[in-house]
Copies of this chain bind each other. A is one copy, B any other.
Amino acid sequence: MIIYFRTMRTKDDIKQEALFEATVKLVNEIGFATSSVSKIAKEANISPATIYVYYKNKEDLLVTTYLEIKKQMGKSATEDFDDSLPIRDILRQVWFKMFDYIGKHPDYFQYCEQFSNSPYQSLVDKREIEKHFDPLIHVVIRGIEQKIIKNVNFDILTVFIFHPIVALSNSRICQDFELNDGNIETAFTMAWDAIRL
């Protein structure tokens, strides 16, 4: 007879985490297109049927996994956020924190990249993601108000101040770019040059 103490993790938690890791691992190893429910189940050492205990369907599994990572990423990027610093310094810190996170979890990052270009991508509410990065957005808006940042379409700003982080981390796009502090500093300077007034 098994007794579950209050602090003991339930079986559920363990299975769910195994499923999370298995999903990320498999997608990174064999790609989104060929990652099937049964392969993920095998990787997690459970029956394919068990997945349907925890998730409504395949879509739910993949989307939830994505959202979980994005949440973590947002948290990492905005932790120790110091609103009193100059805007440039705040954004610079975010850049380093993001590259730090990606460097530590390249598999999570890669999963997100794959997800973003999969058909499942359209199933997530963009706002749901953005809210994890809200503090950053507000910094940029403040920069515009203080006439430090160019007052242009927000999408354009995003393309120059946030998108490069993703592009530079994508080994397919940047085969020569090494994630060392010097390179990150250089790239950030360029991003800042692009958006600053």
A residues near B, CB below 8 A? 30-34, 113-114, 116-119, 121, 150, 152-156, 158-160, 163-164, 167-168, 172-177, 183, 186-187, 190-191, 193-195
Which residue of the partner chain B has the closest CB to A34? Answer: B119
Residues of B near A119 (CB, < 8 A) are 30-31, 33-34
B168 touches A159 (CB 8 A): yes
A177 touches B191 (CB 8 A): no
Q: Closest 10 interchain pairs by CB? A: A117-B117, A194-B194, A31-B119, A155-B174, A190-B194, A155-B177, A155-B176, A159-B167, A33-B33, A193-B193
B31 touches A194 (CB 8 A): no
Q: How far is the CA of A32 from the CA of B152 in the complex (A)?
A: 34
B153 touches A183 (CB 8 A): yes
Q: How far is the CA of A113 from the CA of B173 in the complex (A)?
A: 13
State how many angstroms separate the Cβ of A37 from the closest Cβ of chain B.
14
State how many angstroms separate the Cβ of A44 from the closest Cβ of chain B.
20
Q: How far is the CA of A34 from the CA of B120 in the complex (A)?
A: 11
State how many angstroms separate the Cβ of A197 from the closest Cβ of chain B.
10
State how many angstroms separate the Cβ of A26 from the closest Cβ of chain B.
13
